[in-house]
Amino acid sequence: MKEQNREPKKPTLIHALIPIIFMVAALFVGIARYEADPHIPLFLSGVVATIVAFSLGYRWKRLEEGMIRGISLALQAVIILVIIGTIIGSWLAGGIVPTMIFYGLDILSPTYFLVAACAISCIVAVASGNAWTAAGTIGIALMGVGEGLGLNVGMVAGAVISGIYFGDKVSPLSETTNLAPGVAGAELFEHIKHMMFTTIPALVISLIIYFVMGFWASGAGNSISQVAELQAAIGDRFLVTPWLLIVPGMIIVMMVMKMPAIPALTIGSLMGIFCSIVVQGVPVSDSISALFYGYTSDTNNEILSNLLNNGGIEAMMYTVSLLIIALSFGGILETAGFFAVIVENLMKLAKSTGSLISTTVATSMTANVVGCEQYLSIIIPARMYAGEYKKRRLKMKNLSRTVEDAGTMTSPLVPWNTCGAFMFATLGVSAFAYAPYAFLALLSPIIAIIYGYTGFTIEYEDDADEAALEEDMPSKQENAL
């Protein structure tokens, strides 16, 4: 009995790095060499992490509880993902997405499409406060327009993701925007204002790059006759009317009015089915089938066929299974203390403010890669480094901003992270393809590090602020968690 109740040993840095190094190697060999999906490499990484944890004295029951706890972080995401699948299927069957593509082809040209896609995505995401909602609505339409214009889908997805994650980062309606200051102990609107110093420059630089890329990318675009042919094919297949645009408009309005994402998106899915049956005349059985199996239609236009055959709950199961495996792995790492050991060793490198900011960035990005969950990339470094920031008299909004710059922004760049997996399932483009073009996500952590070493916009506590912080921070962290 005493043997069973003995506390496990604390892992060393070597123990903590074994499953992570194995994961990196397994993913590289599996994906680069054998073109395999990431599921099995991550599953095997979980097996290795479990073996290492066993060697330290951890029992299976405790590890299993950690896995379940890790998976529970993504349950809301899984529900939203399933509903997004029904939205894509019903909005295609209802002619809503084809209508958005039809009119988008009229007003957008290849030359300025990338910069317009980023800007439009920004507006929708700020209004809705949710990157996933923006991706599942305007993102799908913009991907269709971009493909119809003959643009590289990786570029289009990169521009869309830059836009929607700008909104997800700065909107007061966003969960991560509220979570970061809550865990770090900062004020929400102080946090948002402080983020503008890193996010606005990153957005401006991104828009400039997209504008310049437009002149180069437009050379590969479809001709006017091809665009007209695609519009004609859409017009033959669907009843195209501006009235259908009311549906996505209503979803955005509901999100602005702070209706929770799940009921708002469910209403959007039901409205898509209504449009499918009443507006497009699709049989009831086929309309319902589109919710699970997605919409399928064979046309003589290859681009249109690629755009239409999409959606449904079934199409989301690839991503759901990836999330379960990845978060099980992350749960084992957290339960066995591997995360904590890595952070402790990183702290030894944080001698200056710049190195502390860099360490925070590295921890958030590592949590995205290894923990496979955006929330972990915010919560872990905010918890671990709050005391050190306070000790160095750094205002907590420096910490909350940094975990957003690195955690929120790089989460869609990791294919097996919940955000990267969701974007693949929704936009149909792998993170490997769009990551080089998601400039806002790439620039934000770099700018955060530059500010850390130069001291630009880094704010320190005075005595009055510090006294107020000591009084307020425990209650804020308790409410956030």
- Among the ranges given (72-81, 423-432, 450-459), the one the predictor scored with the smallest mean pLDDT: 72-81
Per the prediction, the chain carries an average pLDDT of 83
pLDDT score of 297 more than 70: yes
pLDDT score of 466 more than 60: no
Provide the pLDDT for residue 267. 92
Burial class (CB in 10 A: 0-12, 13-18, 19+), 318: middle
**Band (342; pLDDT cuts 50, 70, 90):** confident
Provide the pLDDT for residue 436. 94
Measured distance CA(284)–CA(11) in Å, rounded: 58
Measured distance CA(428)–CA(197) in Å, rounded: 32
Between 201 and 308, name the one with better pLDDT. 201
Provide the pLDDT for residue 159. 95
HSE-up (13 A, CA, CB side) for residue 181? 21
Where helices occur in 244-348 by DSSP H, the ranges are: 246-256, 261-274, 284-293, 302-308, 313-335, 338-347
Between 147 and 46, name the one with better pLDDT. 46
Measured distance CA(94)–CA(238) in Å, rounded: 8
Q: List, for residues 52-105, the tens digit of each pLDDT value.
A: 999 999 999 999 999 998 788 667 767 877 887 898 889 889 998 888 878 877
Provide the pLDDT for residue 1. 43
Burial class (CB in 10 A: 0-12, 13-18, 19+), 300: exposed
pLDDT score of 469 more than 50: no
Provide the pLDDT for residue 481. 46
Q: Taking residues 365-375, what's their average pLDDT?
A: 78
**Band (383; pLDDT cuts 50, 70, 90):** confident
Q: Which of 218-222, 253-257, 416-420 has the highest mean pLDDT?
A: 416-420
Contact by Cβ (8 Å): 459, 397: yes
Q: Which residues contact 257 (CB under 8 A, 6 or more apart)?
A: none
Contact by Cβ (8 Å): 214, 428: no
Provide the pLDDT for residue 199. 93
Closest CA to 93 of 268, 308, 307: 308
